């Protein structure tokens, strides 16, 4: 909403512009009226809308045309004053003032106009018969007010309507010729309806209506008031109320009714509560709240954010199969101005046998977005109405900024839940297969992935000592000479070579020596395609000798050429290394260390599956 309002009064000489302003300020008709009143400012605390209001007079005798044009360009609303007993001043409204104002304002952002019929004390009849055709002809005219500066009739109302025309304009909401809401208003109110429809059944029940009412107007509706609202809708349309709840059609009808009855501030209150500006666009402040990100810190979703996202998933998982079909995904993102997830997401997170994103995959994708691009995550949560549904100041309340990694190393423990593993290797070494195997896809399943649907990320959960953690794998393009800071910034490094390609390991060795030999980032060497015949690598040291020399864990054999889903123990090891980078390689080589970590993973995987089944039954 605007921080202040600037009202300009124009019109023919002697119609009473200055008298109107002076009568408002002094609350009495002035004995002497100057040619022009000085600009006055009414403080916020004495205006109905609590917004400072500047009132500017115009005098043809004292001001040039250029000064008039400047004032028109600065005005938020223009009052065209005429005298109800002067026919010529009424004619000048359409022959001079409206064309002049339109010529001096941008067509796409016209200033609202108020027609002001002054000196109503001098006539017994109304000028409205003459004015109504003018109002119907020009869409920019918000309203017409007949008043009298002499007996103070409708003076306060005049300036209230002018202020209201700026703060609660009709133009963006309603088309008077068609007597219906404008498409952009329907689109905005439809999103608000869908966000407020907490169970996604297509109607707002009494609980949802009360939550909506409390959210927008800080007060619930009494049961009788709720019934009265629904009865108004029932009397005017057949399908506005369904199963004793308000349908989308009924919701839109109510807002049409508010506007037609001059209560458009009600609709604007709703729109602004849900983040919209005067152009019915979501504001930058709403979508991108400030969040401080110190260096060497990462961003994660907190517990309340996951609970919210779980409720969004449940709301759209219509068939209760703990996965989102393409239609369910499309329905979920109807509150977005665009589809945020492309086909690559289905190869970034876990899916079911139909290729649909599972509940775990859905949460993983949100975790990935928050980690890689927190601003994008804030934007998405804004579209879903996180701050409104969770009654938080902004989406920033959903984000945890982790502490600096250096502190984790010093304290030898971490509070983080998401760990990044950068996967490097020569072209064709098996990096993509390693990522997809993490999502449970064997080689046969990977061959069905279209080239333009491939992803360079894979994320899922692992369990280390009974703690659920997210491991984010990122396949780094094999450009040895141009590895960026982003390519190197991670919690653990995975160096992949093809045991069947004699030139494959050389790339891993060079990358390690160039970028990681003096780094505190733990590294693991993966001997990929271990189902194939192992050949001698064309490098001065064998992979085993290289690892021994640099005190690395021995190369880990890996293959995704299996009939079942590939083994995931290796990913638990990577997560463990990321969680405990301070541990010596000797500790990591200890078989009982891995046993403790992987047993914890197995136990919690079984428990996780049991909870998953329980959740399914519950739903």
Whether 156 and 90 share a structural domain: yes
Whether 130 and 95 share a structural domain: yes
Whether 559 and 478 share a structural domain: yes
Q: What are phi and psi of 155, to 5 degrees?
A: -70, -50
Look at residue 592 and tell me whether its pLDDT is greater than 70: no
pLDDT tens string 114-130: 999 999 999 988 888 89
Whether 242 and 146 share a structural domain: no
Q: Establish if 586 belongs to a structural domain.
A: no
At which of 167, 202, 230 does a domain end?
A: 167
Under 8 Å between Cβ of 145 and 157: yes
Among the listed residues 392, 137, 103, 34, the one whose alpha carbon sits nearest the alpha carbon of residue 115 = 137
Look at residue 27 and tell me whether its pLDDT is greater than 50: yes
Q: Establish if 175 belongs to a structural domain.
A: no
pLDDT of residue 581: 83
pLDDT tens string 383-432: 999 999 999 999 999 999 999 888 888 888 888 999 999 999 999 999 99
Look at residue 324 and tell me whether its pLDDT is greater than 80: yes
Task: Report the half-sphere exposure of 470 (CA within 13 A, side-chain side).
Answer: 29
At which of 115, 141, 167 does a domain end?
A: 167
pLDDT tens string 63-77: 999 999 999 999 999
Report residue 177's pLDDT band, with 50, 70 and 90 as the boundaries. Answer: confident
Look at residue 454 and tell me whether its pLDDT is greater than 60: yes
Among the listed residues 99, 120, 112, 128, the one whose alpha carbon sits nearest the alpha carbon of residue 161 = 112
Whether 301 and 417 share a structural domain: no
Whether 502 and 381 share a structural domain: no
Among the listed residues 559, 512, 49, the one whose alpha carbon sits nearest the alpha carbon of residue 272 = 49
Whether 416 and 528 share a structural domain: yes
Q: Establish if 173 belongs to a structural domain.
A: no
Whether 298 and 219 share a structural domain: no
pLDDT of residue 619: 47
Q: Establish if 174 belongs to a structural domain.
A: no
pTM for this structure? 0.84
E runs forming strands in 264-332? 299-301, 323-324
Whether 477 and 604 share a structural domain: no
Q: How far apart are CA 155 and CA 30, in angstroms?
A: 14
pLDDT of residue 448: 79
Q: Establish if 585 belongs to a structural domain.
A: no
C-alpha 320: how far from chain center: 26
Q: Establish if 287 belongs to a structural domain.
A: no
Q: How far apart are CA 195 and CA 198, in angstroms?
A: 7
Look at residue 378 and tell me whether its pLDDT is greater than 80: yes
Whether 29 and 143 share a structural domain: yes
Residues recorded for the chain:
619
Look at residue 486 and tell me whether its pLDDT is greater than 80: no
Mean pLDDT of the chain: 90
Whether 21 and 110 share a structural domain: yes
Q: Establish if 84 belongs to a structural domain.
A: yes
Range of the domain at 153: 5-167
pLDDT tens string 467-484: 999 999 999 987 756 778
Report residue 561's pLDDT band, with 50, 70 and 90 as the boundaries. Answer: confident
Q: How far apart are CA 61 and CA 517, in angstroms?
A: 83
Whether 155 and 215 share a structural domain: no
pLDDT tens string 562-582: 877 778 899 999 999 999 887
Average pLDDT over residues 534-552: 95
Place of tokens 């289905």: 346
Give, in degrees to the nearest 5, the angle at Cα 540 between 534 and 543: 40
Q: Establish if 286 belongs to a structural domain.
A: no
Report the CATH number at residue 58.
Answer: 3.40.50.300
Report the CATH number at residue 309.
Answer: 1.10.238.10
Under 8 Å between Cβ of 426 and 499: no
Structure tokens at 610: 């049991």
Average pLDDT over residues 240-244: 95
Report the domain count for the chain. 5
Report residue 601's pLDDT band, with 50, 70 and 90 as the boundaries. Answer: very low
């Amino acid at each position: 909403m605007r921080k202040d309002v600037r009202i300009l009064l124009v019109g023919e000489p002697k119609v009473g512009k200055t008298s109107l302003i002076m009568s408002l300020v002094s609350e009495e008709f002035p004995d002497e009226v100057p040619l022009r009143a000085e600009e006055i400012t009414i403080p916020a605390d004495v205006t109905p809308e609590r917004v400072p209001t500047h009132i500017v007079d115009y005098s043809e005798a004292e001001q040039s045309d250029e000064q008039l044009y400047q004032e028109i360009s600065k005005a938020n609303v223009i009052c065209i004053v005429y005298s109800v007993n002067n026919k010529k001043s009424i004619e000048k409204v359409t022959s001079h003032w409206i064309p002049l104002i339109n010529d001096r304002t941008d067509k796409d952002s016209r200033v609202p106009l108020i027609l002001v019929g002054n000196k109503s004390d001098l006539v017994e009849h109304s000028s409205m018969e003459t004015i109504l055709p003018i109002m119907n002809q020009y869409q920019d005219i918000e309203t017409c007010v007949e008043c009298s500066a002499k007996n103070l009739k409708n003076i306060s109302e005049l300036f209230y309507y002018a202020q209201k025309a700026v703060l609660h304009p009709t133009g963006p909401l309603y088309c008077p010729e068609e007597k219906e809401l404008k498409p952009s208003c329907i689109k905005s109110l439809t999103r608000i309806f869908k966000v407020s429809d907490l169970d996604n059944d297509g109607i707002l029940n009494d609980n949802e209506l009360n939550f909506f009412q409390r959210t927008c107007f800080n007060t619930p509706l009494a049961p009788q008031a709720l019934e009265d609202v629904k009865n108004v809708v029932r009397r005017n349309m057949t399908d506005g109320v369904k199963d004793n709840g308000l349908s989308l059609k009924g919701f839109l009808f109510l807002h049409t009714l508010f506007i037609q009855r001059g209560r458009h501030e009600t609709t604007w209150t709703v729109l602004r509560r849900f983040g919209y500006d005067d152009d019915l666009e979501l504001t930058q402040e709403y979508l991108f709240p400030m969040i401080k990100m110190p260096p060497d810190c990462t961003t994660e979703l907190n517990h309340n954010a996951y609970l919210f996202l779980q409720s969004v998933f449940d709301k759209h998982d219509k068939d209760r199969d703990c996965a989102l079909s393409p239609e369910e995904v499309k329905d979920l993102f109807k509150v977005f101005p665009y589809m945020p997830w492309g086909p690559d997401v289905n190869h970034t997170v876990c899916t079911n046998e139909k290729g649909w994103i599972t509940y775990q995959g859905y949460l993983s994708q949100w975790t990935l977005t928050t980690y890689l691009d927190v601003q994008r995550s804030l934007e998405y949560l804004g579209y879903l109405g996180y701050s409104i549904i969770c009654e938080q100041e902004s989406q920033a309340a959903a984000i945890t900024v982790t502490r600096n990694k250096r502190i984790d190393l010093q304290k030898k423990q971490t509070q983080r839940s998401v760990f990044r593993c950068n996967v490097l290797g020569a072209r064709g070494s098996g990096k993509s297969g390693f990522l997809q195997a993490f999502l449970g896809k064997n080689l046969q399943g990977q061959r069905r992935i279209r080239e333009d649907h491939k992803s360079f990320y894979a994320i899922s959960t692992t369990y280390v000592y009974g703690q659920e953690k997210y491991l984010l794998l990122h396949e780094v393009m094999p450009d040895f000479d141009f590895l960026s800071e982003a390519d190197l910034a991670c919690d653990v490094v995975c160096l992949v070579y093809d045991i069947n390609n004699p030139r494959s390991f050389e790339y891993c060795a060079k990358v390690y020596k160039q970028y990681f030999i003096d780094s505190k980032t733990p590294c693991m060497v993966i001997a990929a395609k271990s189902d194939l015949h192992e050949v001698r690598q064309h490098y001065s040291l064998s992979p085993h000798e290289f690892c021994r020399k640099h005190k690395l864990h021995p190369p880990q054999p890996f293959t995704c050429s299996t009939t079942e889903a590939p083994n995931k123990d290796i990913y638990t090891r990577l997560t463990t290394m990321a969680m405990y980078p301070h541990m010596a390689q000797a500790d990591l080589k200890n078989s009982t260390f891995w046993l403790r970590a992987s047993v914890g993973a197995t136990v919690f995987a079984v428990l996780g599956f049991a909870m998953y089944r329980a959740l399914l039954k519950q739903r």
